[in-house]
Amino acid sequence: MNIEFEEVMSKNIILKKGLNIKLEGKADKVYASTKPPKLYAVKPTDFHNITPKLTVKESESVLAGDCIFFDKYNESVKICSPVSGSVKAIVRGEKRKILQIVIDTDSEIKYKNFNVNKSESRDDIIALLLDSGLWPFLRQKPYDTIANPKDNPKAIFISSFSSSPLATDNDFALYGLDELFQLGLDKITKLTTGTTHLNVDGNTIPSKVFTNSKGVQINKISGPHPSGNVGIQIHHIDPINKGDVVWYLSPQDVISIGRLFHEGKSDFSRIVSLSGSMVSKPRYYRMVAGACIFSLLENNVHEGEKRIISGDVLTGKKISEEGYLGFYDTQLCVIPEGNKSEFLGWLLPGFHKFSMSKTFFSWLLPNKRFNLNTNNNGEERAFVVTGQYEKVLPMNIFPMQLIKSIMMEDIEMMEGLGIYEVSSEDFALCEFVCTSKMDVQNIIRKGLDLMLKENS
């Protein structure tokens, strides 16, 4: 293999703004195993801006890596089955929108074989990634959609860590996978003529898997959440201007890509953390994307009404007890539902209540881990308080003005205020701290969708 060793200028970025939310139920760094799930599902809703065209019918049998559906408007982008088995059901919602393609799996996963001998040129790599169904791991900014294989991105970004509450520890998940990670990187770096950035956590001593990587620019990012968000990192390292395209993916996706080029199969397994205050033994599991989580939670959660989240507590999706792990998710959280009203809750001292402000006496307990539930903690109001969003968004962007411009659908102002640089996940903390309980992430997503429509 011929890797070019280039001298690259790495950046050291220290972020001051943001907020670490300390929650109860952090996963212990121990692997646990569970009864292998019988059912898997591919959810078109995991992929933004895709119009699925099914290529399978009910009861048809598939191998891991067989196409399930492709994008009607970009036919080369295929979503493949993560496991082998037979298609059990195609679940549709309103207007016959496809919600889930459920696959009843074989006892042992049988993989479709891909020829990886010819995989040196950019075109070969792209073709193989598209064919194997691993392409959707590559996503683009702006818009947070699956990357368009026809684009030539100005850079590729990988954030090696997540700073969100109860985040999966990638240093732990990728332990000992140095070679696969490097192999994946070698292929990914060929997809851009620009730089591939690997951003490591400056708050700790990052794993050698990341710091010894070759052929990429290694940048150090420190500071509270959202320092691990790739969008925040891009903003500080190589910001997106109008017309720019940047691709990004996560470290575990790099491993899957490395495995494809090493073993010639589409392996959608990853290390998933199960955490949250409702979990009896929060630990790590090896799971395949789309796995039914029922067996995972069986006998491992506390009594009471709970919210199960595929993803983290700030950006994840609500799923049922028999729901399925999302395509991009490496984390499952279970927290209590907060559907109880609280007598004079806004008036009490609130030692158990977490707030960025010091309006509750929980500021007396700075190291406390909180058991937060899903209560909205108040009603939605018009914007009153200012300066809150600015405290948790480490970007040179005016969050409130951007949000207002989106509400007014003022395209020019949205562009001027940096809509191309933002993602809803970067605004998750703004939504969390909002006194007026605005659904900030949803507003940002609508803004991005509007721009997507405008520019297509």
Does residue 447 contact residue 430 with C-beta atoms inside 8 Å?
no
Subset of 352-381 contacting another protein (CB under 8 A):
353-360, 362, 372-379, 381
For position 197 contacting another protein by CB under 8 A, the verdict is no
What's the closest the beta carbon of residue 228 comes to another protein, in angstroms? 16
- The residue with tokens 């040196």 is 120
Q: x-or-dash pattern for another protein, window 228-267, by CB under 8 A?
A: -----------x-xxx------------------------
Q: How many CA atoms lie within 13 A of 325 on its CB side?
A: 30
For position 416 contacting another protein by CB under 8 A, the verdict is yes
For position 313 contacting another protein by CB under 8 A, the verdict is yes
**Nearest CA to 287 among 302, 306, 273, 301?**
273
Other CB atoms within a 10 A radius of the CB of residue 13 amount to 18
CB-nearer residue toward another protein: 176 or 243: 243
Q: Which residues contact 37 (CB under 8 A, 6 or more apart)?
A: 105, 287, 291, 292, 293, 294, 295, 296
Rounded Cα distance between 399 and 422, Å, is 10
**Nearest CA to 245 among 156, 367, 351?**
156
Does residue 30 contact residue 284 with C-beta atoms inside 8 Å?
yes
CB-nearer residue toward another protein: 22 or 262: 22
- The residue with tokens 């590559």 is 138
CB-nearer residue toward another protein: 181 or 432: 432
Q: Among 117, 299, 344, 456, which residue interacts with another protein (rule: CB under 8 A)?
A: 344
For position 293 contacting another protein by CB under 8 A, the verdict is no
Q: Among 13, 15, 21, 448, which residue interacts with another protein (rule: CB under 8 A)?
A: 21
Tell me how far apart the terminal alpha carbons of the chain are, to the nearest angstrom: 39
Q: Which residues contact 323 (CB under 8 A, 6 or more apart)?
A: 292, 293, 308, 310
Both structure tokens of 372:
């937060």
For position 410 contacting another protein by CB under 8 A, the verdict is no
Q: x-or-dash pattern for another protein, window 74-113, by CB under 8 A?
A: ----------------------------------------
CB-nearer residue toward another protein: 109 or 429: 429
For position 16 contacting another protein by CB under 8 A, the verdict is no
CB-nearer residue toward another protein: 188 or 372: 372
For position 401 contacting another protein by CB under 8 A, the verdict is yes
Q: Among 68, 275, 432, 451, which residue interacts with another protein (rule: CB under 8 A)?
A: 432
Other CB atoms within a 10 A radius of the CB of residue 222 amount to 16
Subset of 37-56 contacting another protein (CB under 8 A):
none
Q: Among 127, 175, 436, 449, which residue interacts with another protein (rule: CB under 8 A)?
A: 436
Q: Among 346, 349, 364, 454, which residue interacts with another protein (rule: CB under 8 A)?
A: 346
CB-nearer residue toward another protein: 129 or 430: 430
For position 337 contacting another protein by CB under 8 A, the verdict is yes
For position 417 contacting another protein by CB under 8 A, the verdict is yes
Q: Which residues contact 366 (CB under 8 A, 6 or more apart)?
A: none
Number of residues forming the site for another protein (CB under 8 A): 74
Does residue 451 contact residue 142 with C-beta atoms inside 8 Å?
yes
Q: Among 38, 383, 411, 452, which residue interacts with another protein (rule: CB under 8 A)?
A: 383
Both structure tokens of 194:
């620009």
